[in-house]
Structure formats: structure tokens, C-alpha cells
Structure 1
Amino acid sequence: MTPTSRYRVQSLQQAQISTCLHHERIMLAPLSQSEATTLAVGLRRCLLKGFEGTCFSTLKIKHPWVTKNKKRCYEYLALPGIRETIRDIMMNLSSVVLAGIPIEKKKAKLYTGQEVGVFEARHIVLPEGIYCLSPNQPILTVVVPLELELELTIERGSGFRIRDGGEHEDGLFLDARFNPILQVDYQIQRAERKLEFDRNEKISNIKQEALPYKIYQKNSLSITKEQTEIKEQIDDELSEKENTLHLQLQNEQEQDYFCLLFFDIWTNGTIQPIEAMQEAARQAIAVYIPLLRFASTVPLKTIAQKN
């Protein structure tokens, strides 16, 4: 049996909670306690750190009141004619899920014109190759007709970047969640391994196979000298087999259980959980491949011990 043939991967549950929220429960078995712990920690780190995604990174607001009074936009500013504060708008934009791979930073715009009402993510004009998976995400509510324009920067990256609250040359920084993996939980459970035979049954089988029927006849007076020698020889073989069996059963008792490793993965819909698990496994394997291919070119030096 090859080292990889004894492991089994199974998808226990799949659910699409919404367009931008997918969940899957994956099981890996059988594993030892150390194997389960090592895989759980390593794969979880790869899932939460090793993926790239696309999202809005900065925001510029062009509002008539801001332009006229030459005001500086900041996070907690309330703009006339808009129900939400700038902070609320920034949080709503951070919740928009984008798909696509921009080669460089691209711009997107939301223009309200003279319309009044709730503007959602579907009203944002996106560049070619970028599309929105959460079109019903509310962005802002305009209560009076005004010329409002939001200029957004689309960026691709990894991990999570927290805004600093200040205004920069590119605009206000948003909370940029690049990683499409929203959450990863794991659980390790022990399961007992059922032994095929107990010790008494195995010893009984050894006796029936090893000793001739005549030696265990009830009339022991009929046993000849030749049969006695055979019996002593077989007793020695039986004793050796019992000792071997005892060591084997002792080893089985130490390995009479195995572990099940369960992963619960939530993604934003740009990647499926099982695909994310496969990519995390590739990233983990890529670390070990150089070790497998490593050939030492440094000559060994013999250290002479001084007497």
C-alpha cells in the first residue's frame, strides 16, 4: 500500500447560503493525532493567507457641497442630501464582492445624477473584465436631487488591509478584503479502530494450525517417544509465535484509534471551498518539493576526535 492510498477525502456538506457566501464541510481520514494537528494548522494558514482577490481599495467623493466649501473629506463626515455618513458608505463598499483579475489598478464610478433613492452595487459602472457578485448590496441613499459621483479604485492583492481613516492622494482607503476565504474552522475527532480478533481467538487459531491432532488426544499414554519429541519441538514454535503475537497485539492496542479531521470553509463565491482546499494543498506541497529534490553538494568533513 502506497503512503497516499490509505488516506480518504470526502465532502460531507455543501451549501450556497447566498451568491457571495458558500460553505463546505470536508473530512480527511484516517490520521494520527500528530498528522491531524499538523495538517489542520498548516492548511488553515494557507487558506487564510495564501489567496489573492479583487476588491475596492480607495474612494473619492465629488459632492457639490464639498467642492463649494472646499471641505476635506474624512471618515465621519455627514454630507448634505445623503442619509449615510462617509464611514457607512465605506463599509458598504467594502462588502461588495468583485470577481475578475485586473492586470493593474482600474477605476469604477457611481454617478447619481438627479435621481433620488437607494443606490446599490449594480449601479456602479465597472471596467471590462470585472463583474459584481453582490449586485443588491446597498451603497448609499440619496434623499434630495444632487450631482454626486463616487470614484473607486479596483485593486488585486492578498490578505486584508485595514483603512487608516485619513485622506490620501488616491482618496480614502477602504477596508480591503482581498482574500476570498471568509472563515476556516477545523475539528479533530477520535474514532476507535475495530480489531479483527482478540488475543484468545488468535492463540486458539495458532494452536489448531500448529499442533497435530494426535498430540491433543485424551489418552496421553498412547503418545510415543517420537511424538513426544515432535510435541516439544512444536511447543517451542508455539511459544515463539505467542511471543510474537503478544508484541503485535501490544502495538495494535497503541494504535486502536485514529483521528478524523473536519474542515468548515466559507468563501465569498469567487472560489469554491473544495477548490480553495486543493490550492492550499498545492501551496503546502510546494514547500516540501525542494527538500525532496535537494542534493547536497557540500563535501562531508570528518571531524577527528582528539584522545
Structure 2
Amino acid sequence: MATKELVRLRSIKSQIEDKKSFYAYYQLGPFSLGHSATVANSLRRSLLTELAGVAISEVEIQGVTHEYSALRGVRESVLEILVNLKNIVLTSSHKLRKPALGYLRVQGPGVVRANLLVLPSYVQAVDPEQYIATLSYDGSLNIKFFVSSGAGNSINTPFTVQQQHLFVQKRGPKQRANRGSKGEIVEKNNLKIPLDTSFVPVKKVNFRIDVEERLEKPKEFIFLEIWTNGSIHPRQALHDAVKALLILFYPLQQVTHLDKIAYASRRRFKYPFLNSVSKSKIQSSDKRQRGLKRKEETRQSDLKKKRQLVVTKLFKTVV
């Protein structure tokens, strides 16, 4: 029996392009002819869809009723602030079982960056210098947000006309709006805006397949390029992708009796009368047939002995 050659992973190149971009170049092989394309496509899909990550999933900004409003003393609009918050790359030391709460409270003037976020102790920003907004002397930001873990992409509709109607109806017709010292309206109810979150830590995957014909038998090798967002190393991402594939295909190993089940079902369909006959009845009928056969054999032997006896008596009388 020929032994199978082990598949090896060799790192060709690995570099940190910037704080939010890790790059690695690997070689996988050898594979039999035709197998490498299946493995490479499966790895690429698993890297881009199955890996888990951490990101900001919901934001609540004080004094904001919809994402198209503007804040006094803030250069960016609310929509631009939401986009900047969504682009912040986070990493966590363990998987979050439920959304974690974070805050951002800043008084202008100044530049707001990711290092001013108040996060749980086990969550960190990959790039602390990532830009969020710019405040003037009379500007301030008071933001509450939730950090969630997940896989893939989460697409949400931040604000619809129906939600706006429900939000306006929260204040009754006889209630008066709260007014500040200068007469402006101060809303106590702030809108919770869900974000279109991308939890995938892998940004891009490329692969190339080469055939090595100088060996005794031609073999294929996979050359894999992986770019991550800095929250995970490409080698760890590749390990997690392979683990996800093993978990996906493991239940198929338990299906070992498909052929027997299919044969039994075909037999029941072809001979339906066998379903109503129990095994004990079949065994008893076989014993009865064997008993009748033995009785018939003994009867035939007795008749043969009687004929011989009659023949001998007749022969004696003639003589």
C-alpha cells in the first residue's frame, strides 16, 4: 500500500504593510493532480466568510435623531462620523458572548481619534491614531456604542420613515419640548443607529496553482496570498479557516451506512410482502418444511424396504 505524501505549509513572505494591513505569502503542497483547485477554492471561501471578528455594531449619539443631521461645533456630519466609527478595527482577547458597551465623551477644541474610545479591558483598537472627527471650541461629542462579535457581514437599515414616525409619536400632543437656556430644543430621546458591520478580518485572498513535473509523479502546489486588517495574523487566519472546514465536513464522516440503508429501502419497496412477515414466522416455516421433508424420506425408505421384503417372499415360494 502506497503511503500518502504529507501536505506541508511553507511561509515564503510575511510583512506588516501598516497597522491595518498584514500580508503573508504561503506555499501549500504537494497535491495530486486536480485536487489543488478544490482545496484552494475552499480555503479562499472559508477565509472570506467563516472567520469571526469584533466591530462596532450600534451607535447612539446625544442630540441626534437621524443619521443625516449635523452637530454644532463638529466639522463632520453624523453620517461621516458613523462611517469613521464603522471603519475602526477592533480586536478582542476572547469571544464576546453578548454586546459590550463603550463610550466616547470629548469636549472641543481638538481632534478625536480611536485612542479616546472607552472600551472594555479585553477589547483594543488596532490603530489608536485612526481619525473620527474634529471639534471646534464649542463642539462636543457624547457617543454610546456597542461592540459585538460575529462572522461575515451584517447589513442594517439605520433609519426608515416608519421608525421616524414612531419616534415622533413618542412625545404626546400635550407635551412640551424641553428648552435650554437659549431657547433651543433639547431632545432627551436619542436614536440608536445600527451599522453595516463587517466582522471579517480578512480583506483579500489570492491563489495560484503550479504543477511540478520534475518529481517522480507530477504534483500541484498552491501559492496563497492573504491580507488581513491587522486584528489577526494571516497564519492564524489560515489555521482558523482550515478548522472551520474540518468542522463543516466532520458530520459527513458519521454517515457510514448509506449504502446499506439504500439497499434495505429498495428491497422493502420491491418486496413489500416481506415487511409484514416477521423473522420468527420465517424461521418456523423453514423448520416445518425440513420436518416434512424428513418424514417423506422416511416414508419412501419404508416403502422400499417393504417392496424388497415382498420380493424375497415371492422368490422363496417359487423355489
TM-score between the two structures when normalised by the length of structure 2: 0.67
Are the aligned partners of 1:102 and 1:129 in contact in 2 as well (CA < 8 Å)? no
Large movers: runs of 4+ above 6 Å: 167-170
Cross-structure match for 1:235: none
Cross-structure match for 1:46: 46
Are the aligned partners of 2:74 and 2:139 in contact in 1 as well (CA < 8 Å)? no
Q: Distance in 2 between matches of 1:194 and 1:147?
A: 68
Cross-structure match for 1:191: 212
Whichever residue aligns with residue 300 of structure 1, its letter is: Y
| Residues 261/19 of structure 1: CA separation in 2 closer, same or farther (3 Å cut) | same
* 1:269-298 CA distance string (max 9 Å, x none): 222111111221122223333333433273
| Residues 86/273 of structure 1: CA separation in 2 closer, same or farther (3 Å cut) | same
Cross-structure match for 2:15: 15
Are residues 1:79 and 2:80 paired? no
Cross-structure match for 2:261: 298
Q: Please identify the structure whose Cα radius of gyration is greater.
A: 2
The answer to which structure, 1 or 2, has the higher relative contact order (CA under 8 A, 6+ apart) is 1
Q: Which runs of 5+ in 2 are unaligned?
A: 164-189, 272-319
| Residues 83/146 of structure 1: CA separation in 2 closer, same or farther (3 Å cut) | closer
User: How many residue pairs get matched?
Assistant: 235
| Residues 42/170 of structure 1: CA separation in 2 closer, same or farther (3 Å cut) | farther
Are the aligned partners of 2:20 and 2:127 in contact in 1 as well (CA < 8 Å)? yes
Q: Distance in 2 between matches of 1:87 and 1:170?
A: 13
What are the residue-to-residue correspondences of 1:136-285 with 2, within 5 Å?
A: 136-166=129-159, 171-193=192-214, 257-285=218-246
Are residues 1:134 and 2:127 paired? yes
| Residues 194/104 of structure 1: CA separation in 2 closer, same or farther (3 Å cut) | closer
Q: Distance in 2 between matches of 1:285 and 1:127?
A: 33
Cross-structure match for 2:28: 28
Are residues 1:96 and 2:57 paired? no
* 1:98-152 CA distance string (max 9 Å, x none): 1113331121111113x21110000011123212111100111112323420111
Q: Bigger shift: 267-276 or 284-293?
A: 284-293
Cross-structure match for 1:108: 102
1:299 is displaced (CA, Å) by: 7.7
Q: Distance in 2 between matches of 1:164 and 1:78?
A: 19
**Partner-residue secondary structure (3-state), 1:79:** coil
Q: Distance in 2 between matches of 1:183 and 1:91?
A: 21
Whichever residue aligns with residue 30 of structure 1, its letter is: P
Cross-structure match for 1:125: 118
1:33 is displaced (CA, Å) by: 4.4
Q: Distance in 2 between matches of 1:264 and 1:106?
A: 33
| Residues 2/33 of structure 1: CA separation in 2 closer, same or farther (3 Å cut) | closer
Q: Distance in 2 between matches of 1:2 and 1:288?
A: 23
Whichever residue aligns with residue 252 of structure 2, its letter is: L
1:194 is displaced (CA, Å) by: 5.2
| The one of 247, 258, 271 aligned to 1:286 | 247
| Residues 299/93 of structure 1: CA separation in 2 closer, same or farther (3 Å cut) | closer
Q: Identity of aligned pairs, percent?
A: 27
**Partner-residue secondary structure (3-state), 1:276:** helix
Root-mean-square deviation (CA, aligned residues, Å) is 2.5
Are the aligned partners of 1:91 and 1:175 in contact in 2 as well (CA < 8 Å)? no
1:88 is displaced (CA, Å) by: 1.3
Whichever residue aligns with residue 77 of structure 1, its letter is: S
Q: Distance in 2 between matches of 1:170 and 1:186?
A: 44
| Residues 170/25 of structure 1: CA separation in 2 closer, same or farther (3 Å cut) | farther
* 1:249-278 CA distance string (max 9 Å, x none): xxxxxx6x4322111111122221111112
1:170 is displaced (CA, Å) by: 6.5
Whichever residue aligns with residue 128 of structure 1, its letter is: S
Q: Distance in 1 between matches of 2:103 and 2:41?
A: 41
Q: Distance in 1 between matches of 2:247 and 2:152?
A: 20
Q: Distance in 2 between matches of 1:299 and 1:157?
A: 39
Are the aligned partners of 1:11 and 1:24 in contact in 2 as well (CA < 8 Å)? yes
Q: Distance in 2 between matches of 1:55 and 1:288?
A: 29
Q: Distance in 2 between matches of 1:194 and 1:98?
A: 46
Q: Which runs of 5+ in 1 are unaligned?
A: 67-71, 196-254
